[in-house]
Structure 1
Amino acid sequence: MNELAEIKKILADFVSGTASNDTSNVNLPPSGKEYLTVDEAAALIGSKRSYIYKLTHEKRISFTKPGGNRVLIKRSDLLEWIEANRIKSQKVVQNDVEQFMKNSRRPGRNAPKR
């Protein structure tokens, strides 16, 4: 298939909505790697490089710059940041409220009157 025909096919697939979401070209970092580059961090959380740079610029995520040039992010710091931004489901919040109410009752406050 020549290049023009290939481009036409890709465009036709895109317009018709049948384009495959091939993510095989996304290179996820090896799980044993302790420090990640910006590209690897972005691939790990499914974001763009610019977002990772924004997080480091705003100091919302810890990073290191060995030699003052290349930004490296510790995998555990990135995963910790993800967990810190977790939004609880309504059921979990309700359970937390019930547990809090159960534990915060003072003795004698709800005791039956004599």
Structure 2
Amino acid sequence: MENEIILQKLNRIEKYICGLKNILNVEELCEYTGFKKSFIYKLVHEAKIPYSKPNGKMLFFEKKKIDEWLLQNSHKPESEIKMDAFRYKKTR
């Protein structure tokens, strides 16, 4: 029981430390996004995700660019769309 508590706390610390990093490797990106390694490699192969490969082998990802990429196709909630339509109608 005590070992499980310690492992849970270590996992939380690991995730916190990963959240502080600006540059992530593939494993850290998996933890950060919840994507599987194979999916990340597929995204890299198809050039759909921003990455860097400085030494020709290892992949690195800038967290800021990943965040922007993850949020690039965001959709407004219905309430915000209605408010935009109301404002538009009011100004016309």
> Mapping of 1:27-106 within 5 angstroms?
27-28=14-15, 30-103=18-91, 105=92
Identify the structure with the greater helix proportion: 2
Which residue does the alignment assign to 1:12? none
TM-score by length of 1: 0.59
Which structure exhibits the higher relative contact order, with contacts defined as CA atoms closer than 8 Å and separated by 6 or more residues? 2
Change (3 A) 1:53 1:101: farther
CA distance in 1, matches of 2:24, 2:64: 10
Change (3 A) 1:61 1:100: farther
Backbone CA RMSD of aligned residues: 2.3
Give the greater-gyration-radius structure (CA): 1
Say how many residue pairs are matched. 82
- Unpaired segments ≥5 residues, structure 2: 1-7
Change (3 A) 1:96 1:72: same
- Unpaired segments ≥5 residues, structure 1: 1-23, 106-114
CA distance in 1, matches of 2:38, 2:28: 13
TM-score by length of 2: 0.70
